[in-house]
Structure 1
Amino acid sequence: MEPARSAGATSPGSCLICVLAFFIAGGNALKCFECKDLSGNPCVGESVLCHSGSNVCISSLVQYQIDPSLPGAQNLGGVPTWLFMRACGSSDQCSSIITLRTSYTRMVTSNQCCMSDNCSPPKPPVISEQSENGLTCMGCFNVTSDSCQEYKSVKCRGSEQQCFTYSNKHLEGGDSIAMAGCATQTACDLDLGYDGIKTQCYGGCSNNRSSQIASSLSIAAFLAVVYLG
């Protein structure tokens, strides 16, 4: 399947390569293959020496779907875009499913891991859509600014038990992004830990608890789809 392209969108490829390199942390003396494929097919890539913090090689499959009613996305048709990635990773990401849903988008990341040098984890499973769970969050999606001017209600599904907000105005090339909506707890349990990115998770209208949002691999993958697709 050919990757979807945003109508009229810029494509700061070098910017996103840097973002991906930052988010995909490595570890110890482990060696892993590193690659990405915008058609969702398994790739191999080059062997890299992982940096401190990683103890597994990880394969990640991202399904990204955009609502054609999003301004500027009329020719995307709501067709899912697939992204496959291999990288150094952390064992707490293994077999996890991370979902971020905004007013116009749905992104699901599933992971598989292995623990030996240059091993190749299998392609993670495709995650089907689930039924509504009763939680409603205010959502937005903006790839031209680090803030949203318009919000609309988003009905959460399946294990999306948290609302989230995310903004970043420090992408290279002057690009910014802002989004809000529903998230799984697996997203909120991971620390993004990057200066200049504002994130927050909370449990809906009746719960004001906040925390750092998740997703080293999933946010990097999301940005790759938006800007490199």
Structure 2
Amino acid sequence: MHDIPCQLYLISPLETGGDFPNQLRNALAAGPVAAFQFRVKDVNPEQAAELAAPLKVICDEFDVAFIVNDDIALAKQIGADGVHLGQSDENLKNARAELGLDVQIGITCHDSRHLAMEAGEGGANYVAFGAFFPTKTKETHHKPELDILEWWSAMMEIPCVAIGGVTPENCQPLIDAGADFLAVSGAVWHDSDGAAQAVRKFAAKLDVGEKS
């Protein structure tokens, strides 16, 4: 088992313009967040960079790792802390060669122990398993069981991320099974009480306290 407590890993909604920077700032101010993943679709590289830049400034202010989803070129352009790749994206070896050793690279492994082992042996900094629960954030075709988290945390030092429909109400089994990070999107940005309150709800479950 890993000694570091489970931490919160926020994933952006697809719409990150408008008032979203304020939402992000409020969320990060509300409680400990380890990482934020910038995930947008169907925007050109210039638009993506324009949207990402102010969000990275906010993350830097709160010492939160800024991770870019799927886009190695954007991650390099804006000096992101990391990039997250799916199984169909540019491969890990190419990403490492392009971004260097200091950038964190995460790999989606769905419900596959084989893919996770390949990612770990290939130099990934973390692996992500999911979707553990139904989610509207993105289409999913895989549903891992909790024992994949138990197996990974017992076998490997590389952290694992649990993703997919994670809420303050259903996350405890994931924490107990050994997830190092809870990747959350809708449960924070669509919380009826606001993103800041949602982060506080997760902080209470993660036993990492709150910021006043």
TM-score, normalised by the number of residues in structure 1: 0.29
Q: Please state which structure has a larger fraction of its residues in helix.
A: 2
| Higher RCO (CA < 8 A, seq sep 6+) | 2
TM-score, normalised by the number of residues in structure 2: 0.31
